[in-house]
Structure 1
Amino acid sequence: MTATAVPDVFQPARLGPLTLRNRVVKAATFEGMTRGALAGDELVAFHRAHAAGGVGMTTVAYCAVAPEGRTERNQIWMRPEAVPGLRRLTDAVHAEGAAACAQIGHAGPVANSRSTRVPALAPSRAVNAQARGVTRAATREDIARVTTAHADAARYAREAGFDAVEIHLGHNYFSSSFLSPRINKRKDEYGGPLAHRARVARDVCRAVRDEVGDSIAVTAKFNMDDGVPGGFWLDESLRVASWLQDDGTVDALQLTAGSSLLNPMYLFRGDAPLREFAATMPQPLRLGLRLAGGRFLRSYPYEEAYLLDSARRFRSALTLPLILLGGISTRATMDLAMAEGFDFVAMARALLREPDLPNRLRADPATPSLCTHCNKCMPTIFTGTHCVLTSRA
């Protein structure tokens, strides 16, 4: 009996109907470059740079499926007017030899209703600091509309030339918030038992797959756990991942964690940039964040592959292709992910500092990443996401 060869992360690989030039994915990081909720030159240049830098696929984040599904009003929402700008972006990415993915989703309770000027939707009505008000409990009609909107968004993405869509099932956005027993207090067919709480996520994935078939790849960003007491946790998450695999609606899962609503640093790890976030906010929010922000932006030590221990449980339980995210900035970590049976790796912050890091890691595996994991890039989403340690000229 011969051992299975470990894949080379920089060799071509299949993702559903796609063949990517390598197994490195630029993870979705909201770019803050879509004034007027449309793709322009800045966003095109951002993703062209990552494609030229050597990733197999770059992910545009974030393409909301409905106006109230944005975290702020300048985010793209998928509609016919968005297609031409996004087509320019995919053409630019393809010209550099990479594939393009659109992250589609609905922010749900993470939406800032003051900015979008539309009430935020959630499984249950609740006072919500993130939404800057009270979230409205989604009706059955709302759920049906949002589900259909995901399918429509996937169709627009295909029309714009995207090779894949990534459905957002993480971070307590709309679908993820229904999965959370802490947030979802419903008593109907969308609340209570896990099978009910998973209905929205499964229906959304089914609607997208039915719309696009195998014409483009369909992946999902999926929470392994919310990182909050009483939230969605590994035991339930493994069951839902198994259901998604059995449903046959996704070609891969990108495994993530944390709650943009309740504990965002659980995903990011490293320093919490409280002072920098506070500087972007008006008073009295600025003072409040400086005084009590540590309760929301908690610090977690950074280490390479910090989601690997949890992700191993998914790898051992599933046959579905999996994308490892979280603390991947060296060739050694990439090779470890391949040896552990993961099909792709996703990089984010390290590529903000060095978009060409994949090319350099391919040429010299000993190349160090210059990312310091200071997380000061996070507050730059309000002015155009970038590494604060590099020039934007």
Structure 2
Amino acid sequence: MSLLFSPLRLRETTFRNRLWVAPMCQYSAEEGVPNDWHHVHLAQFASGGAGLIVAEATAVVPEGRISPRDTGLWNDAQRDAWRPIVEAVHARGAAVGVQLAHAGRKASTWWPFADASGTVPAEQGGWQSVAPSAVAYEGFAEPRALDEAGIADVVAAFAAAARRAVDAGFDVLEVHAAHGYLLHEFLSPLSNRRTDAWGGSLENRARLTVDVVRAVRAEVGDAVPVLVRFSASDAAPGGLEPEDVAEAARWAIAAGADLIDVSSAGLVAHQQLTIGPGYQVPYAARVRELSGAPVAAVGIITSGAQAERILQDGAADAIFAAREWLRDPHFGLRAATELGEPAEALWPPQYVRAHRPG
């Protein structure tokens, strides 16, 4: 058996393989409620062979949405709408998670296929964004700096959303501390200018992420796997580097996280990235090496052979892919065939007649 299609166990959940679907925002909800689009979008990946499917960045409070069309878990109606989607994924053999998120200073923006860009004005349904410091993301409205009470409310909101997620049947929770959103904003010195206990040293800047992980773990108990997505580099002078994030990852693991999902960038518009196949895998390998934590790699991973090589090289323990699943919702079946896995190991019986040995 390939490593890619060998099982992986985290706490009380066993994933049937290590080829997973990364969270991808669909910007298709109303009032934070997922709908039939989300149902079909996520369930198809389970039929396509994914081991774990993580639903999109899902706001823990209304003001934590990236756009007015983001999904949420701040009320029970949203929880109840997620439940049949979770059941559909389970019926097709995959585990399902949700990425709990707060967009911070990148909130209240137009979705990518809107007829506008930048911050949504209040008169068109926008709202005041918040951040560690009153420093805007380039081209967006200035956020309001959170006070102590506001920070405490954020931690409580993540815990409450985690409870709703588990009650909806999600197997896995991912805390979003990457891509320039609120927890990442606290972690990076480029966006955190505070001089109190939430700013300055790396330990202070990581405090909110660690507190959120600890609160989520306390809320959901010992059985549920908790992942944390970090941007391993800000790709900008003076920003985070993998050594900083590996230290934060160690603290997150100590607070109750189980695996670190390693991405990069997203904090500032002037970032400089060289993008190509597997371009973020070295970040995953470095965080894994320095932290000793299990990690998932992501970043233009498009074939079974490429994903298998990453695991065989010891760069990661699991693989997240995103756009390749959009291009081919049966990416898992294709990758399994490429690696010589027998049809009955993964293919739905309804599809086996289309299997061709690799």
Corresponding residue of 1:343:
317
Corresponding residue of 1:45:
40
Aligned ranges for residues 57-206 of structure 1 at < 5 Å? 57-78=52-73, 79-112=75-108, 114=120, 117-129=126-138, 132-206=140-214
Corresponding residue of 1:356:
330
Secondary structure, counterpart of 1:254 in structure 2: strand
TM-score by length of 2: 0.86
Distance (whole Å) between structure 1 residues aligned to residue 215 and residue 85 of structure 2: 25
Is contact 1:110–1:261 with CA below 8 Å preserved after alignment? no
What is the CA deviation profile of residues 189-238 of structure 1, one whole-angstrom value per residue up to 9, with x for unaligned ones? 00111111111111011010110112321111111111122222222112
The one-letter code sitting in structure 1 at the alignment partner of 2:327 is: R
Secondary structure, counterpart of 1:363 in structure 2: helix
Sequence identity percentage: 32
Corresponding residue of 1:29:
24
TM-align CA RMSD: 1.9
The one-letter code sitting in structure 1 at the alignment partner of 2:337 is: A
The one-letter code sitting in structure 2 at the alignment partner of 1:114 is: V
Corresponding residue of 2:353:
none
CA deviation after TM superposition for structure 1 residue 114, in Å: 2.6
The one-letter code sitting in structure 2 at the alignment partner of 1:36 is: E
Secondary structure, counterpart of 2:175 in structure 1: strand
For structure 2, list consecutive stretches of 5 or more residues without a partner in the other structure: 109-118, 342-358
Secondary structure, counterpart of 1:59 in structure 2: strand
TM-score by length of 1: 0.79
What is the CA deviation profile of residues 303-361 of structure 1, one whole-angstrom value per residue up to 9, with x for unaligned ones? x2111222222222233211111121112211112112221100101110001011111
Distance (whole Å) between structure 2 residues aligned to residue 264 and residue 35 of structure 1: 32
Secondary structure, counterpart of 1:93 in structure 2: helix
Is contact 1:184–1:191 with CA below 8 Å preserved after alignment? yes
Distance (whole Å) between structure 2 residues aligned to residue 263 and residue 147 of structure 1: 30
CA deviation after TM superposition for structure 1 residue 49, in Å: 0.6
Distance (whole Å) between structure 2 residues aligned to residue 208 and residue 195 of structure 1: 19
For structure 1, list consecutive stretches of 5 or more residues without a partner in the other structure: 1-5, 267-299, 368-393
CA deviation after TM superposition for structure 1 residue 117, in Å: 2.8
CA deviation after TM superposition for structure 1 residue 129, in Å: 4.4
Corresponding residue of 1:275:
none
Corresponding residue of 1:209:
217
Aligned ranges for residues 313-324 of structure 1 at < 5 Å? 313-324=286-297
Residue in structure 1 matching 2:263, options 240, 246, 256 = 256
- Higher mean alpha-carbon deviation, 78-87 vs 329-338, is at 329-338
Tell me the number of residue pairs that the alignment of Structure 1 and Structure 2 aligns: 326
Secondary structure, counterpart of 2:24 in structure 1: coil
Secondary structure, counterpart of 2:269 in structure 1: coil
Is contact 1:35–1:75 with CA below 8 Å preserved after alignment? yes
